[in-house]
Structure 1
Amino acid sequence: MQYRRLGTSELVVSHVCLGTMTFGQQNTEAEGHAQLDAAFAAGVNFVDVAEMYPVPTRADTYGATERIVGTWLRRQPRDKVILATKIAGPGRALGWIRGGPRAMDASNLREALDGSLKRLQTDYVDLYQLHWPERNQPMFGQTGFDPSAERECTPIRDQLEALAGLVRAGKIRYVGLSNEHPWGVMRFVQLAREHDLPVVVSIQNAYNLLNRVFEYGLSEVCYRENVGLLAYSPLAFGHLSGKYLDQPDAAGRLTLFPHFGQRYEKPAVAAAVAEYAALARAHGLTPTQLALAFVYGRWFVTSTIIGATSLAQLQENLDCADMGMTEALEDAIAEVHARHTNPAP
């Protein structure tokens, strides 16, 4: 297991992070604890949760993931676990979360964080992330900015000032973004420096063989501003494991929850997956090994968030952690990417 400094922070995180969005829906508390134990035994020191988890999100499961991680966390040395969670913002129909949620203002940030801390049974989190921007912007598979969808939102400086208060209170150590775009990252960084507010140390965005849009603008921004990428969905909701190629009804989130992964329902996805799967097998790898080794090895990825519903899946993901990529394989991936460029942005 490799360990890397997260942005400008003092956090040194494993380059594999355990994602937990299945805990409380597809995984029981006991199964969640078993995954956490296995991941930490393999050298993982980094766990990612969110107040809205598990997903698909529902009123009757809201907060279950944090509660499951919390009952595990209370048995661990707190300083050995790097814990990240997220506040859900407005812009999605999640009426059971804090009555809206209404905004990312000081009141909502404080209420959301206090709820997370209670469920997690801790008095601080190492990384507190804005799950998606409050402002109008394309997200979760949308590809174009729509000015007609503009709405009022909490100014970014106000969000940073509220987060600064939570840092001073000792409730969070560092601040991160998620599902952000280049303009947003630059504004957060610029305003933080101008007004001596917390500088964002990370961004959590989707990144995989089917979705490499991070490379176009965000990779340069994050390099120059020292913001670490926490890459999520490295297997593209299981598509890149190849399991749906011959068995469209194979067990997984996409069959359990129809239309859950709409980003991956686009017409060019199947052809790209088939080529990557064939490429993997031609090099003596499984499709999963190819997909994970690719993301693990990108220079701009600080840590890759992996999720699983079984210990066998988790172990395969962990076993890929130090595989590396040959030059021939890199070249072959580039050829496939040129034919199937970002079919699921």
Structure 2
Amino acid sequence: MQKNRLGRTDMEVTRYCLGTMTWGTQTGTDAAHAQIDMALERGVTFLDTAEMYPVNPVSAETIGRTEQIIGQWIAKARGRRGDLVVATKHSGEGLSKVRDGAPISAATIRETVEGSLRRLDTDYIDLYQFHWPNRGSYHFRQNWRYDPSDVEPEQVLDEMAGCLDALEEERRRGTIRHFGLSNETAWGAAQWLRLAERTDTPRPVTIQNEYSLLWRQFDTDLAELALHEDLGLLAYSPLAAGLLTGKYQGGAVPSGSRMDLVAELGGRRTARAFAAVDAYLDIAARHGLDPVQMALAWVAGRPFTTSVIFGATELDQLSHILDGMDLALGDEVLAEIDEAHREHPMPY
């Protein structure tokens, strides 16, 4: 299993990362633990979660359950905590089910870290991420309406500086090893980097943003920032919430699938999206490739990608994904993918 360096640190992570956001709703505890076991057997040691998980749906009753499931595995497998690189996230402003929607701040970091540590049954978190900016961002389909003109830059910078000081306290306590961003913009990421270097506080090592054949917003500006500043992409939704598997083509909605639970797939369900998926399915078929493995290999092969976060609700789905981890796409396939992207840009 290929590994990539985490930012400018000495830590390495596997270029594929096991996502966990359905553990506790669509995926039960025993099945989740079996996924961890299989992933480790096949060389994937990187695990991503969040305090707000599971999703589909997010509810007050299930907040934190995914971290608890991981913690139960750690408790059962005493002595194997070091086999895993565990990443989790602090929810941003507006999630009423967590801290009554309070923003990320110097005042919330200690209690939030402590909560994750308890649920994960661990003494430290390898990568601690901010789930989304308090001020909002272009993610979660907000790109059509997000307006940063009412943001007060100096206020934002003051909040960032306070958060970095709090993260430095956690780093010194040994509760977190590294810091990452998520759903951040180019401007926001640049400010975090600048402030961290100026104050000698934890420098962001990764940025976890959505990225797939259907959603390539990262290619402009953020790609350049990521490459030159060693801010590696942790790509989430690399299968576009399952669209790129092809299982939803022709109006199909498999029972128990994400679309069965969340009909619009977070705003991804559009006529243009299905037309784009057809184009990528055709490329895979012409070259004798599995479309799931092709989609993941394309994201993994991008020059700014540190790791690809994938999820599976069933063990056979996980096995199928793991079978394609060594796939490298040829120049002809890559050229056809670029042409399909030009023909089907911004499908949702």
Contact 2:52 2:58 in 1 (8 A): yes
Instruction: Tell me the equivalent position of 1:127.
Output: 127
Secondary structure at 1:129 match in 2: strand
Q: Structure 2 matches for 1:122-161, cutoff 5 A?
A: 122-143=122-143, 144-147=145-148, 150=151, 155-161=159-165
**Partners of 2:120 and 2:136 in 1: CA distance:** 30
**Partners of 1:12 and 1:293 in 2: CA distance:** 19
Instruction: Tell me the equivalent position of 1:287.
Output: 291
Contact 1:136 1:149 in 2 (8 A): no
Contact 1:3 1:15 in 2 (8 A): yes
Instruction: Tell me the equivalent position of 1:217.
Output: 221
Query: Share of identical aligned residues, percent?
Result: 44
Kindly state the Cα deviation for residue 139 of structure 1 after the two structures are TM-superposed.
2.3
Kindly state the Cα deviation for residue 137 of structure 1 after the two structures are TM-superposed.
3.0
Count of equivalent residues? 340
Matched, 1:258 2:259: no
Kindly state the Cα deviation for residue 258 of structure 1 after the two structures are TM-superposed.
2.3
Kindly state the Cα deviation for residue 105 of structure 1 after the two structures are TM-superposed.
1.3
Q: Structure 2 matches for 1:1-345, cutoff 5 A?
A: 1-55=1-55, 56-74=57-75, 75=77, 76-91=79-94, 94-98=95-99, 100-143=100-143, 144-147=145-148, 150=151, 155-251=159-255, 252-259=257-264, 261-344=265-348
Contact 1:66 1:116 in 2 (8 A): yes
AA matched with 2:163: Q
Kindly state the Cα deviation for residue 149 of structure 1 after the two structures are TM-superposed.
5.5
Kindly state the Cα deviation for residue 265 of structure 1 after the two structures are TM-superposed.
2.1
AA matched with 2:106: A
Kindly state the Cα deviation for residue 6 of structure 1 after the two structures are TM-superposed.
1.0
**Partners of 1:233 and 1:290 in 2: CA distance:** 14
Larger deviation, residues 153-162 vs 56-65: 153-162
Kindly state the Cα deviation for residue 179 of structure 1 after the two structures are TM-superposed.
0.5
Kindly state the Cα deviation for residue 12 of structure 1 after the two structures are TM-superposed.
0.7
Contact 1:234 1:304 in 2 (8 A): yes
**Partners of 2:330 and 2:97 in 1: CA distance:** 48
**Partners of 1:137 and 1:275 in 2: CA distance:** 29
Kindly state the Cα deviation for residue 266 of structure 1 after the two structures are TM-superposed.
3.2
Kindly state the Cα deviation for residue 147 of structure 1 after the two structures are TM-superposed.
3.9
Gap regions ≥5 residues in structure 1? none
**Partners of 2:215 and 2:320 in 1: CA distance:** 22
Kindly state the Cα deviation for residue 275 of structure 1 after the two structures are TM-superposed.
0.9
Secondary structure at 1:23 match in 2: coil
Q: Which whole-Å deviations, capped at 9, do the CAs of 1:15-39 have from their partners, x for residues lacking one?
A: 1100000100001100000001000
Alpha-carbon distance change, 331 to 20 in structure 1, aligned in 2, over 3 angstroms: same
TM norm structure 2: 0.94
AA matched with 2:128: Y
**Partners of 1:286 and 1:64 in 2: CA distance:** 33
Structure 1 segments (4+ residues) deviating >6 Å: none
**Partners of 1:36 and 1:150 in 2: CA distance:** 41
AA matched with 1:52: M
AA matched with 1:58: S
Q: CA RMSD in A?
A: 1.5
Higher helix share: 2
AA matched with 2:9: S
Contact 1:296 1:321 in 2 (8 A): no
